[in-house]
Amino acid sequence: MEETHVPVTVVTGANSGIGRATALHLASVGHRVVGTVRAVGKAEKLLALAADSDLTIELVELDVGDDASVKAGFEQILEMTGRIDNLVNNAGVGGNAVVEECPSDVYLDVFNINVVGATRCTQAVLPSMRERGSGTIINITSVAGRIASLAQAPYVASKWALEGVSEELAQEVAAFGVRVAIIEPGVTKSSIFAKNTDVPNSTGAYETLYRHMFRFYMAGRVHATDPLEVGKTIEHAITTADPQLRYAVSWCSPEMSALHDRIAYDDWIELGKIDDEGEYAKRFQQIFGVEI
pLDDT of 195 reads: 63
Quote the domain boundaries for residue 263: 8-288
- Tally of structural domains, the chain: 1
> Is the pTM higher than 0.85?
yes
Kindly report, residue by residue over 242-289, the tens digit of the pLDDT. 999 999 999 889 888 887 767 777 887 788 889 899 999 999 899 888
How far is 202 from 220, CA to CA, in rounded Å? 26
How far is 124 from 273, CA to CA, in rounded Å? 45
For residue 18, tell me if it sits in a domain. Answer: yes
For residue 2, tell me if it sits in a domain. Answer: no
Residues in a beta bridge with 12:
36
3-state secondary structure of 80: helix
Are 77 and 34 within 8 A, CB to CB? yes
For residue 1, tell me if it sits in a domain. Answer: no
pLDDT over 80 at 42, yes or no: yes
For residue 40, tell me if it sits in a domain. Answer: yes
What is the residue-wise DSSP string for 216-253?
A: HHHHHHHHPBPTHHHHHHHHHHHH-SS--SEEEESBTH
How far is 189 from 224, CA to CA, in rounded Å? 5
Rounding to the nearest 10 degrees, give the CA dihedral for residues 61, 112, 137, 242: 140
pLDDT over 50 at 15, yes or no: yes
For residue 278, tell me if it sits in a domain. Answer: yes
Kindly report, residue by residue over 187-214, the tens digit of the pLDDT. 998 766 556 678 999 999 999 999 999 9
Kindly report, residue by residue over 64-75, the tens digit of the pLDDT. 999 999 999 999
Question: What is the number of other CB atoms lying within 10 angstroms of the CB of residue 200?
Answer: 16
The domain spanning residue 201 has which CATH number? 3.40.50.720
Give the residue, 251 or 59, on which the prediction is more confident. Answer: 59
The residues that are catalytic are 155
Kindly report, residue by residue over 84-127, the tens digit of the pLDDT. 999 999 999 999 999 999 999 999 999 999 999 999 999 999 99
For residue 52, tell me if it sits in a domain. Answer: yes
pLDDT of 1 reads: 36
